[in-house]
A and B are shown apart, each in its own frame.
Chain A
């Protein structure tokens, strides 16, 4: 019984590992292929099945006029939009979360929990519902196809995540530390900045990571609200996919685009193992 259980366990883990790794391995091998080894039947192992070459990777740094794929600018656009929107969301979200965790609000039947729910419930909103009014709204103030417009939209996507994680986190930070700071003569803002924030760094990192993940992987809004002036990375890759881009340069660009966030997996795991996530995610 026990032996069977352990066997099944490792069997399942191995099967899932293969499933997780398969598309990456396929993209990695494909990125070194040439025309013959892609179109002349399926090939797997470099040097055995086909002769690897660097053509797929070279186009990443070539200018578009010479047949490059031109993903450097979208890369920085994506980076800029994601980081700016995450930063704004974290700042505003942390302030609101702190208020919701420490003070009581009451306006008619609206209480703290309802306000928190209002923040979080924005994640329920299907993006398509917002996309049409945002499209018309941004075009009326000339922010369609601009980085600023995208940042504004991404704040709506990311702030709920920041509030959600930080409210739970602040609830775990003992109230005594702010009270002590207040007694020592700090005003509430100093208490927040000098005492509470330094004690909330793990929570801030977790919230920041989730904002960055959900900002970086968004495609839908970037796809609808930008056209030619500004292109974000996911939109660019999809555009490459629908043009005649060969598989090797497509695979290379796709791999380069998903690479940076894989580091985040390591950070998440570290926090998970230290037990810092269990409170933050509930």
Chain B
């Protein structure tokens, strides 16, 4: 095929993306070496001071990072298990198959923050339906103001919101599986459980890895839900890294410090996601 035309196809998109991104990325690195804050806005040079502060004197950042890891790993595992179960159930013929498929996709189409506004009324401690129904059993959990329970509220909302995405990826995977292995298993008279363990699950391993990685990437960004649901509270008990950086950078205007945090955070994310992808590939594909 003709040689030079290919650049006319590729370059508009590539250059627009690079053009929009190159400045912010270089700027974050430069900003992280400056002491830009609300008293002193400007790109002075203070060396690695921000990074030293971050690594030696800011437990709150690391706590928020571990909290984020806990929240995102837990939600993704739950989403994977539930999403796989749901996809497996509506894969073969059941009654109202298409109705359930549409219904299970709906939450992902709704705007997370807007649904969170509804969830807030849903989990309201005295006027919400959850505690009203639980009052039959004589309990009234503080869904939004107890440091431990608030984390689970965030998890519940995230699972509701994003399990459909997992469901979609896994169902699309299931529908594209070849038929032969299942015929062979049927001829051997394998039970449904054995069929799942020895045929379906191994065939789904590559798709599972992809789906889990995509969801982990998206889950590591959780911030909108937390912002609306609990604003990081009570205290800092649901504060994630993004939210902490947001507070430092765009609330307290410590731009330089926030930039050093976001750059560190980006590097950690890239490294940990690469490791997770490698480990998952090993574990799921070796079987």
Contacts A19-B160, A241-B117 given; indicate if A163 touches B13 (C-beta within 8 A).
yes
The interface-forming segment of A50-58, A62-70, A116-124, A197-205 is A116-124
CA distance in complex: A15, B181 (Å): 32
The total of chain B residues at the interface (CB under 8 A) is 89
Residue B17 at the chain A interface, CB threshold 8 Å: yes
Min CB distance B197 to A, Å, is 14
Q: Which residues of B contact A17 (CB under 8 A)?
A: 100, 103
Q: Which residues of A contact B98 (CB under 8 A)?
A: 269, 273
Contacts A20-B107, A257-B114 given; indicate if A128 touches B13 (C-beta within 8 A).
no
Contacts A23-B118, A26-B118, A44-B129 given; indicate if A126 touches B266 (C-beta within 8 A).
yes
Min CB distance A69 to B, Å, is 12
Give a binary string over B181-209; 1 marks a CB under 8 Å from any A CB, 0 the rest.
00000000001100000000000000100
Which of B79-108 touch A at CB < 8 Å? 82, 85-86, 89-90, 94, 98, 100-108
Which of B1-41 touch A at CB < 8 Å? 1-2, 5-10, 12-14, 16-17, 20-21, 23-25, 27-28, 31
Residue A238 at the chain B interface, CB threshold 8 Å: yes
Who on chain A is nearest to B159 by CB? A19
Q: Are B114 and A265 closer than 8 Å at their CB atoms?
A: no
> Which of A126, A251, A272 sits near B168, CB closer than 8 Å?
A272
Q: Are B242 and A127 closer than 8 Å at their CB atoms?
A: yes
Residue B47 at the chain A interface, CB threshold 8 Å: no
Which of B223-280 touch A at CB < 8 Å? 223-224, 228, 241-242, 245-246, 249-250, 255, 258-259, 262-263, 265-266, 269-270, 273
Q: Are A96 and B9 closer than 8 Å at their CB atoms?
A: yes
Q: Are A247 and B121 closer than 8 Å at their CB atoms?
A: yes
Q: Which residues of A contact B129 (CB under 8 A)?
A: 26, 42, 44
Residue B149 at the chain A interface, CB threshold 8 Å: no
> Which of B23, B117, B173, B192 sits near A137, CB closer than 8 Å?
B23
Min CB distance A152 to B, Å, is 6
Give a binary string over A219-254; 1 marks a CB under 8 Å from any B CB, 0 the rest.
110011000000001100110110000010011001
Q: Which residues of A contact B106 (CB under 8 A)?
A: 20, 262, 265
Q: Are B118 and A254 closer than 8 Å at their CB atoms?
A: yes
Q: Which residues of A contact B94 (CB under 8 A)?
A: 9, 13
Contacts A9-B89, A220-B223 given; indicate if A261 touches B109 (C-beta within 8 A).
yes
Give a binary string over B208-225; 1 marks a CB under 8 Å from any A CB, 0 the rest.
001000000110110110
CA distance in complex: A128, B127 (Å): 34
Who on chain A is nearest to B18 by CB? A118
Q: Which residues of B contact A275 (CB under 8 A)?
A: 175-176
Residue B111 at the chain A interface, CB threshold 8 Å: yes
CA distance in complex: A228, B217 (Å): 31
Q: Are B266 and A102 closer than 8 Å at their CB atoms?
A: no
Residue B49 at the chain A interface, CB threshold 8 Å: no
Who on chain B is nearest to A164 by CB? B214
Which of A31-84 touch B at CB < 8 Å? 38-39, 41-42, 44
> Which of A12, A96, A132, A153 sits near B85, CB closer than 8 Å?
A12
Q: Are A213 and B89 closer than 8 Å at their CB atoms?
A: no
Q: Are B223 and A93 closer than 8 Å at their CB atoms?
A: no
CA distance in complex: A41, B245 (Å): 39
Contacts A42-B132, A217-B112 given; indicate if A137 touches B27 (C-beta within 8 A).
yes
Q: Which residues of A contact B111 (CB under 8 A)?
A: 216-217, 219, 233-234, 237, 257-258, 261
Who on chain B is nearest to A192 by CB? B9
Who on chain A is nearest to B218 by CB? A123
Q: Which residues of A contact B210 (CB under 8 A)?
A: 282
Q: Are B132 and A133 closer than 8 Å at their CB atoms?
A: no
Residue B51 at the chain A interface, CB threshold 8 Å: no
> Which of B10, B89, B117 sits near A96, CB closer than 8 Å?
B10
Residue A109 at the chain B interface, CB threshold 8 Å: no
CA distance in complex: A152, B115 (Å): 26
CA distance in complex: A247, B127 (Å): 11
Other contacts beyond A130-B21, A241-B120, A273-B98: 9, CB < 8 A: A20-B107, A23-B118, A23-B160, A92-B13, A126-B266, A128-B246, A128-B265, A238-B113, A272-B171
A to B CB contacts below 8 Å, 9 in the list: A13-B90, A23-B119, A93-B13, A95-B13, A99-B7, A99-B10, A129-B262, A131-B246, A156-B20
